[in-house]
Amino acid sequence: MKRSIFIVLIFLFSCDKDGSLNFFSLEQDRQFGEQVKQEIAASGEYNIMSRSAYPEAYRNIDRITNSILNSGNVQHRDDFNWEVFLIDDDVLNAFATPGGKLYVYTGLIKYLDSEDHLAGVMGHEIAHSDRRHSTDALTRQFGVQLLLEVLLGENQQLLKDIAGSLASLQYSRRNESEADATSVEYLGNSIYSCAGAAGFFEKLINEGNNPGIPEFLSTHPSPDNRVEDIFDKASEEGCNTEESNTDAQYQAFKNSLP
């Protein structure tokens, strides 16, 4: 009975800053993110790079991430404990957990041609946490009741399953489009091209959708539509689409990776 009442209270009172309704509170997003982070670290499924062993690589990814977080447009900049982790694996991907935990594969960093393009992807992933798409997607996949069990520490197996599936989490078309558009807004107040995310999809198109990219990321929505929509949003915002002069820094970043 108490749990049913708790779920009702979550539903009634968990409105986000933009007015959208979320079944979980911001505190539960934070708690969820911490639980998933601990499970990812303990599982050994992801080859997380050590900060002490790769200080230069983390200095660069932190620099890029903080440039976006400090743009003034991240709604939950001060509500979440934002952290970024590097995964040593030749995969063209990045993912976010609820509560601001970000994971970036070295394969993606090495694949991209400029720091602006990586910043665009990072803006996209930050948006998934900031606009709380991650919690929404997990709710659709597992249901409120099961996620509540995880938060209460009653379903360790599901926590393991969630930690193992985040890299391929299926967002709705609406969430993906909103994350692309929000990335433009974030980068509009940074040193980077506000259309940076388009560079990733343009390269996929030019190379015929590289087989290293997860299928859901290259088809939902299609890269062609995403490029067009990103530049339309940039035009609407009137923000700078010229790429920053960070080629040397980005090459140094790549060189610092294993």
The tens digit of pLDDT for each residue in 87-115 reads 999 998 999 999 999 999 999 999 999 99
What is the structure's pLDDT at 214? 57
Residues 113 and 199: beta-carbon distance below 8 Å: yes
Cis peptide bond upstream of 258, omega within 30? no
* Number of domains present in the structure of the chain: 1
Confidence of residue 222 (pLDDT cuts 50, 70, 90): confident
pTM: 0.87
Which domain does 127 fall in, by range? 2-255
**Which positions ≥6 away from 198 have C-beta within 8 Å?**
120, 226, 227, 230, 231
- Short-list 105, 83, 98, CA closest to 137: 98
Give the CA angle between residues 66, 70, 71 to the nearest 5°.
120
Q: Any idea which residue has 């606009």 for tokens?
A: 131
- Rounded to whole angstroms, the Cα distance separating 184 from 193 reads 8
Residues 149 and 6: beta-carbon distance below 8 Å: no
Of 35-39, 85-89, 127-131, 167-171, the poorest mean pLDDT is in: 167-171
3-state class (DSSP) for residue 78: coil
